[in-house]
Amino acid sequence: MLDISIKAADNRPISDEILVESLKKSIEGRKLTKVLLLPPDLTRLHSYAGKITALYYNMLKNKCQVDIMPALGTHEAMTEEECLEFFGPDVPYSAVITHNWRTDIVKIGTVPSEFVKEVSEGLIDYSIDAEVNKRLADKTYDLIISIGQVVPHEVVGMANYTKNVLVGCGGKTMINRSHFLGAVYGMERMMGRDHSPVRKVFDYAEERFLKDIPLMYVLTVTTVNEGNVLLEGLFIGRERRLFEEAVELSQSKNLIFMEKPIRKVVVFLDEREFKSTWLGNKAVYRTRMAIADGGELIILAPGVRRFGEDEVIDKLIRKYGYVGRIKVLEQYKANEDLKENLSAAAHLIHGSSDGRFGITYAPGKISREEIEGVNFKYMPLDKALEKYNPEKLKDGFNTLDDGEEIFFISNPAIGLWASKSLF
């Protein structure tokens, strides 16, 4: 397999011409009859993956069968409108397959409890079944192309590579137990770093259980400048070293270091991407290492209409709330429904500030009672947008008309903001 590693040079992003040429090279000379593409969903709108998926589809559609299965993980299935927004008009909705993380999976191996205990420094000692969508085990596919963005991530440290397969196209056990492993270990110890306990579990599965699957990874590193998505890096192949190159580049492009903790952060959530707090809490994850003790986070969330991405998890979030790590662990030990849904328990830990700073949601489609019921503070969206107009604010520090200084983030999914002392 031809490995491709390209980084933007001279402050100019990778051009579309170079991108197309690279994708053509990656499939050149292959005898292909059936291909499966694994892009992310619309929650990775700024990943370049939608465009790459459409390019591959156009290159292959007249030569072989091309199926597209977004790596949804626990997310809602993409609608036809969302597919059009993400992939563009060249990808027919009929080619898109929905991954169901609860039903469409096969077990391909087990990561032993001894290994999990070792990598978690004794905090967790359960085994973890490696499960993937049954299509990945379908021998009729000549090539499976996993497409996605490497960026700091709260569960694994740095997103993508094997996470796209084992979680994005994975099953309940792997999703639940890997999320809880990361939450108990501590996301501040992992975010923006490669070798986390969760990543070591994924590496174990890659080395032992994924080798016979004809996988090719297409990894991107992107930035956003004045609304324009820039392709900073493109890495294509199977070897882990390509992921490591992408990690190093993302650390230089997507880690934003603050000289001192910030008192007030305002984050805007694009309603196309963020429709639940399950997704919208990226505003919490990606800023928590930058916010001062006693500080405040305000989340402008016009599209947020629920808490979980499915009914089961939504009910659990409403039942237990974002009450802090210690309280959630107590609830987990005492309640079978949380033990059965460890990813929900992990999410509740991730989404709390543990009382260190205030979190205020200004949602578009959910009530004050519901927001306060899960332990967030509430602000009416119209009032929040009047004071913190995202169309007038620039990314970074802003001084408002009343003299208040805030730090504004227009999209929390593209980076990690942290005090320099923590790294």
Q: Give the E-state strand segments of 10-142 in sequence order.
A: 34-38, 65-68, 105-111, 128-133
Q: Determine the 3-state secondary structure of 92 from DSSP.
A: coil
Mean pLDDT by 10 residues, the chain (423 residues): 87 94 95 97 88 97 96 90 94 95 94 97 95 96 97 94 96 94 93 95 96 96 89 97 97 94 97 94 96 97 95 96 94 95 94 96 97 98 97 95 95 92 80
* Alpha carbon distance 407, 265 (integer Å): 5
The answer to whether the beta carbons of residues 129 and 174 sit under 8 Å apart is yes
pTM of the model: 0.91
Buried b vs exposed e over 24-35: b needs ≥16 C-beta within 10 Å? eebbeeeeeebb
pLDDT at 1: 64
pLDDT at 43: 82
Helix (H) or strand (E) holding 361: strand 358-363
What are the start-end ranges of the H helices in 88-236?
Answer: 113-119, 162-166, 172-185, 197-209
- pLDDT, tens only, 186-225: 999 999 999 999 999 999 999 999 999 999 999 999 999 8
The answer to whether the beta carbons of residues 179 and 155 sit under 8 Å apart is yes
Residue 121 CB contacts under 8 Å (≥ 6 apart), including other chains: 185, 197
β-bridge mates for residue 218, sequence order: 147, 236
Residue the block writes with tokens 């991107």: 220
Q: Which top CATH class is 4-255?
A: alpha beta
The whole-angstrom distance between residue 369's C-alpha and the CA centroid of its chain comes to 28
The gap between the terminal CA atoms of the chain, to the nearest Å, is 36
* Alpha carbon distance 333, 354 (integer Å): 18
β-bridge mates for residue 231, sequence order: 222
pLDDT at 44: 85
Domain boundaries, the chain: 4-255, 259-422
* Alpha carbon distance 292, 264 (integer Å): 8
Q: What is the DSSP letter of 367?
A: -
* Alpha carbon distance 66, 411 (integer Å): 32
Q: Determine the 3-state secondary structure of 216 from DSSP.
A: strand
C-alpha neighbours within 13 Å on the C-beta side of residue 264: 11
CATH topology of domain 259-422: 2-enoyl-CoA Hydratase; Chain A, domain 1 (3.90.226)
* Alpha carbon distance 98, 67 (integer Å): 11
Q: What is the DSSP letter of 364?
A: S
